[in-house]
Amino acid sequence: MRNFSLGKAFVPVVGTIALIYLLLPIAHVVLFSFNEKRGRNNIIWNGFSLENWQNPCGAPQVCTAFGNSILVGVVATVIATVLGTMIAIALVRYKFKGRSTVSLLLFTPMATPEVVLGAGLAAQFLLAGVEKGLGTIILAHTMFCISYVVVAVKARVASLNPAIEEAGRDLYASPGQVFWRITLPMLSPGIIGAALLSFALSFDDFIITNFNSGTATTFPKFIYVSALKGVPAQANVLASIVFFGALALVIIVQMVNINKKKRLARTA
């Protein structure tokens, strides 16, 4: 019989408790997406039903808010990823006046509390006479997403081996060909990771969005307004779809990486 060790059991027990703590809210969201609709509240379990999954747009404005979040997230992510990648390459590869200052200022949106950042942007839009809506949300999200893209891509650029690009130039490739065929493919893991992070931050943001959205409604705003009466089951359906979609993406990426390692092991 093995001797029981409190030290060996501590980490698994604490890890299991932490995992349950993290997954419990997600389990609640998924469970109540199957809650039978009775009245306007979705707080008490009324019984199992597939009606909400059959009509996820049944609650007023839920799909409009969800679509707005997708639109804002995609547009802000594309703009932030393109600009952030160019800034990251410039900061690592080129020397110019004020480079250290630019690097320092890029961390400002990450370090500034969202309440302060959102209020400051709202004041700027008000002074400029810009009407708040989806456009101002996209501008605000692009602004804070750029910093995360620069940090992620900058680390990837710094890890590249310049000799590979030099080999391309030695083979008479133009600067454009070197970038598109060598540099960009090597940067793609960092760029994709930064883009996914940007989209997640944009889709999930509430505080900055609430300050700069005007009458436009995004999914987090819809959830916040609905929370007092219980989030509609249809909103739980859409949230569950996002969760399972993200989970499937992670599983696919892991399987691709495992297959790639197996192929490399066989060829080695």
| Structural tokens at position 174 | 């133009």
pLDDT averaged over the chain? 87
| Structural tokens at position 13 | 């027990």
pLDDT of residue 6: 66
255/237 Cα distance (integer angstroms): 27
**pTM value?**
0.84
Look at residue 1 and tell me whether its pLDDT is greater than 60.
no
User: For the chain, how far is it from start to end, CA to CA, in angstroms?
Assistant: 44
Region 124-153 average pLDDT: 92
238/141 Cα distance (integer angstroms): 22
Q: Give the CATH fold of the 60-231 domain.
A: MetI-like fold (1.10.3720)
pLDDT of residue 5: 66
pLDDT of residue 17: 92
Of the chain, the percentage scoring pLDDT greater than 90 comes to: 37
Q: What is the pLDDT of residues 210-257, one digit of tens each?
A: 999 988 999 999 988 887 767 788 888 999 999 899 889 889 988 988
Cα distances (angstroms) measured from residue 164 to each of 39, 169, 170, 174, 181: 64, 9, 10, 14, 11
Q: Is the dihedral of CA 145, 147, 152, 154 positive or negative?
A: positive
pLDDT tier at 2, thresholds 50, 70, 90: low
Residue type, 48: F
Region 179-187 average pLDDT: 87
In the chain, what are the domain boundaries?
Answer: 60-231
**92 burial type by CB count under 10 A (0-12 exposed, 13-18 middle, 19+ buried):** middle
| Structural tokens at position 76 | 């802000």
pLDDT of residue 191: 92
User: 């509430």: which residue's tokens?
Assistant: 206
pLDDT of residue 107: 83
Region 34-63 average pLDDT: 83
User: 């004020």: which residue's tokens?
Assistant: 98
**119 burial type by CB count under 10 A (0-12 exposed, 13-18 middle, 19+ buried):** middle
Look at residue 141 and tell me whether its pLDDT is greater than 80.
yes
